[in-house]
Chains A and B, each alone.
Chain A
Amino acid sequence: MKDFVKKPGFILALILAGFFFKGVFIATLFPIFTGQDEARHYNTVQFLAEPKEKTWPITPRPIIPDKATIADYNFSEEIREAGAAADFDLFRHAMYDTSAFSDSNGYDGKNETLIDEMPWQRYNNLSPPDTAGKSLYHQLASLIEKAFASSSILVRFFSVRIFSVLLGTLTVFLAYLIMRTVGFLPQESLIMTAIVAFQPKLSMYTTNINYDALLTPLFALFTLGAVLSLKKGLDWKNILLMVAAIILGFYTKGTALVMMPVFAGLVLFHLYKKFGKGKNIFHYTIAIFLMAVFIFLAFQSAGYSLTGLLPFKGSAAETFSALRAYLSKSLTMGRFALSSRTYWGSLGWEDNWISQNFTDIIKLIEAFSLVGLVLCFLSKNKPGYLPEKKYVIFLLAMIVALQLGIRLYDWKIFMQTGSLDLGTPGRYFLPNLAAHIILVFTGMGMLLRRENYFRNSLLTGLILMFSFSLYLIFNVVLPRYYF
């Protein structure tokens, strides 16, 4: 028994089960539609689940710019009415307000019977419908919507949220495989996987109905394929993982584009290694050419336009002027702090010592880690329990690529609207969470130099992340909506 509970597979199963049930609990804590643009994403799911032939009356209604209530959105009647019945308009914009709880009905809200009776039309009857594209995530979620078509919106909506939690659980599993592949021992890999699993924002965001819930495991899948290729060389398995992640990513969200340059760099690296050893690169060149064509076609068929994604417009002088304006507005301490706060969880919801200082503590730890990573590049003697330099370089490339990709798109939106409408909220950087955690602790490990010190730093990180996660769930999110 003692040996069994110490088996990595058993502990990994506990971490995954803990993450899953934590996610379901958080999915329940957040009232309906309170996730990021969640009503719009759910409306997209409903829109895709509608019959192709629109036989019901559709009323034209221009998009209202300043929406005061959920009724002002061009959502299905069911979303607008059920949202209003569940007090969405009360708690959505006022941090201090909650649902008007029913004391007499016990476990049922005041208007829950009405919602369960399903009196409203669930098809979009306002044109244009307020949707968020038709990504792979929405299409998969629309299958759940159809499967539970005879149930109330509460069953359908929360089932899709649980689907997002499952995708989050897949992300945590892939994080473990990445950590094992880059060379960490089973125990250290499991501790870091648990740190990823307890990172509060990952749990909160993968309980939302949002295409990022699918993008995050696809990034992890790509990272796994890439580190496998660095470990064993390119083979059909790891190429398949990376290409599948990129193509599925294209069909999920434009952010997946940032995987392409990293993939190209990785292929060049492998080519260089092969070419350097004097072997024939003909087959590789053909294979890469075919892959490039395949990816390009997938990119086009997913509806993207490379020129449409890039922010260049007018002359070079105009572009540089716009870039200068964008950088002066976006590269500010306040913007960085906002990104950081929203990367770790709902830190802006409370005004106390933890919310004011948590990200400063993280920055201090990251500064130490950065010194360690510099040492990693300068030093010839790397401790055996840390990943090799090639993995560190690759993971850094992933971080840089995502940062550049998001800021490039933010710049494009800035050029169109003249303001930081998109911004760089922390949740956009979550797809690289596993890479981030690996790099932070690799840097720490380089400074600490001894394996037991390194392991203790991991355990300290685990206990802090675990406590922080519980704090945000029980002391921030729960009181926000129920006390």
Chain B
Amino acid sequence: MIATAVLLLVILFKLLGDWSFPDTSWPLEKGEKVKMEANQPLVQKFTASRDGLERIKILFANSAIGDGGKLEMKIYDETCSQLIRESTLNVTSISSGNTTDFTFSRIPDSKDQAFCLNLAYKPQKGTKSASIFILDNPSPQSQYFRLNGQERPGQSISMRPAYQNASGWQNIIELDQRISQYKPWLLKGPYLLVIVFLFVIFAISAVILLITW
């Protein structure tokens, strides 16, 4: 029985994974569609609004990248000289229907720091192209943007930085707050936590008892 309980809790724990909370003050819109030139990294400077920068969500346009193509993101310091984090995706195609996530290890003291995001499309022989959306009304946290070797003042890519709290419990509290918004009092805050707890306890108990019958 204990082994089964441990197995189910491991499944649950694995599913919970790394949570990070996107800054929704950044607009995510399908703006002007622009092709990214291969091996010509775009540069997007921005200021982080919180500690714990852990992920960048980017809205690409439909891109048939083909086998072997890579998207490589590097996060540098403000001067674009010192590499802080990097994340590489091997993808064959990207849909404009959803964002693409670049995840890296948490940057603890990111609040109010300026970062230089460097995104490159690296095709293999025979691969096709990648395209990205450009916005004219970027977040005030967006500072500088250059695409295909050309500076584009007052524009940015369609992106959203996401932040992770220092502890799992703080993540749970923040998630509880987000889910609680626009919900009635009986489904908010501590009530919501009790509902989730009862769901997990009842469901796991039933499964364990059935397995060990």
Give chain A's interface residues, CB within 8 Å of chain B.
5-6, 11, 14-15, 17-19, 21-22, 24-25, 27-29, 31-32, 86-87, 94-102, 105-109, 112, 115, 151-152, 154-155, 158-159, 187, 190-191, 194, 198, 351, 459, 462-463, 466-467, 470-471, 474-475, 478, 482-483
Of residues 157 to 193 in B, which have CB atoms within 8 Å of A's CB atoms? 162, 175-189, 192
0/1 string, B11-38, CB within 8 A of A gives 1: 1100111011110110010000000000
If A24-B187, A25-B195, A154-B184 touch, does A483 touch B22 (CB 8 Å cutoff)?
Answer: yes
Select one of A11, A21, A152 contacting B210, CB under 8 A: A11
Select one of A18, A102, A190, A470 contacting B181, CB under 8 A: A102
If A17-B202, A25-B199 touch, does A100 touch B25 (CB 8 Å cutoff)?
Answer: yes
Select one of B177, B210, B213 contacting A106, CB under 8 A: B177
**Cβ of A96 to closest chain B Cβ, rounded Å:** 4
**Cβ of B55 to closest chain A Cβ, rounded Å:** 9
**Cβ of B140 to closest chain A Cβ, rounded Å:** 15
B89 at the interface (CB under 8 A from A): no
**Cβ of A459 to closest chain B Cβ, rounded Å:** 6
If A14-B209, A98-B22, A463-B207 touch, does A31 touch B182 (CB 8 Å cutoff)?
Answer: yes
Nearest opposing residue in chain B for A458, CB measure: B210
Select one of B16, B25, B179, B203 contacting A18, CB under 8 A: B203
- Residue pair A101, B15 in contact (C-beta under 8 Å): no
- Residue pair B209, A109 in contact (C-beta under 8 Å): no
Nearest opposing residue in chain A for B96, CB measure: A96
- Residue pair B15, A474 in contact (C-beta under 8 Å): yes
Select one of A14, A24, A100, A107 contacting B205, CB under 8 A: A14
Nearest opposing residue in chain A for B192, CB measure: A28
Which residues of B lie under 8 Å from residue A31 when comparing CB positions? 182
Select one of A29, A95, A152, A463 contacting B98, CB under 8 A: A95
Which residues of A lie under 8 Å from residue B205 when comparing CB positions? 14, 18
Which residues of A lie under 8 Å from residue B185 when comparing CB positions? 155
0/1 string, B40-65, CB within 8 A of A gives 1: 00000000000000000101000000
Give chain B's interface residues, CB within 8 Å of chain A.
8, 11-12, 15-17, 19-22, 24-25, 28, 57, 59, 95, 97-99, 162, 175-189, 192, 195-196, 198-199, 202-203, 205-207, 209-211, 213
Which residues of B lie under 8 Å from residue A155 when comparing CB positions? 184-186
Nearest opposing residue in chain A for B11, CB measure: A467
- Residue pair B210, A96 in contact (C-beta under 8 Å): no
Which residues of B lie under 8 Å from residue A5 when comparing CB positions? 209
Residue of A109, A158, A187, A483 with most partner-chain B CB within 10 A:
A483
Which residues of B lie under 8 Å from residue A475 when comparing CB positions? 15, 17
Which residues of B lie under 8 Å from residue A14 when comparing CB positions? 202-203, 205-206, 209
- Residue pair B207, A154 in contact (C-beta under 8 Å): no
Cα of A478 to Cα of B182 in the assembled complex, Å: 15
Cα of A198 to Cα of B199 in the assembled complex, Å: 12
If A100-B24, A154-B183 touch, does A471 touch B15 (CB 8 Å cutoff)?
Answer: yes
Nearest opposing residue in chain B for A351, CB measure: B95
- Residue pair A158, B183 in contact (C-beta under 8 Å): yes
Cα of A95 to Cα of B59 in the assembled complex, Å: 11
- Residue pair B206, A96 in contact (C-beta under 8 Å): no
**Cβ of A6 to closest chain B Cβ, rounded Å:** 6
Nearest opposing residue in chain B for A469, CB measure: B203
**Cβ of A165 to closest chain B Cβ, rounded Å:** 11
Cα of A316 to Cα of B101 in the assembled complex, Å: 56
Instruction: Across the A-B interface, give the 9 residue pairs with the lowest CB-CB distance, nearest first.
Output: A18-B202, A18-B203, A109-B181, A21-B199, A14-B206, A155-B184, A107-B180, A109-B182, A86-B182
Select one of B11, B15, B187 contacting A158, CB under 8 A: B187
- Residue pair A96, B28 in contact (C-beta under 8 Å): yes
**Cβ of B65 to closest chain A Cβ, rounded Å:** 13
- Residue pair A21, B19 in contact (C-beta under 8 Å): no
Which residues of A lie under 8 Å from residue B17 when comparing CB positions? 475
Which residues of B lie under 8 Å from residue A474 when comparing CB positions? 12, 15-16
**Cβ of B61 to closest chain A Cβ, rounded Å:** 12
Which residues of B lie under 8 Å from residue A463 when comparing CB positions? 207, 211
**Cβ of A239 to closest chain B Cβ, rounded Å:** 34
- Residue pair B203, A96 in contact (C-beta under 8 Å): no
- Residue pair A18, B210 in contact (C-beta under 8 Å): no
If A15-B206, A187-B213 touch, does A28 touch B187 (CB 8 Å cutoff)?
Answer: yes
Q: A155-B186, A463-B211 are in contact. List 16 more A-B contacts (CB 8 A).
A: A11-B206, A11-B210, A14-B202, A14-B209, A18-B205, A19-B203, A22-B203, A25-B195, A96-B59, A106-B177, A107-B177, A108-B181, A154-B184, A187-B210, A191-B210, A482-B21
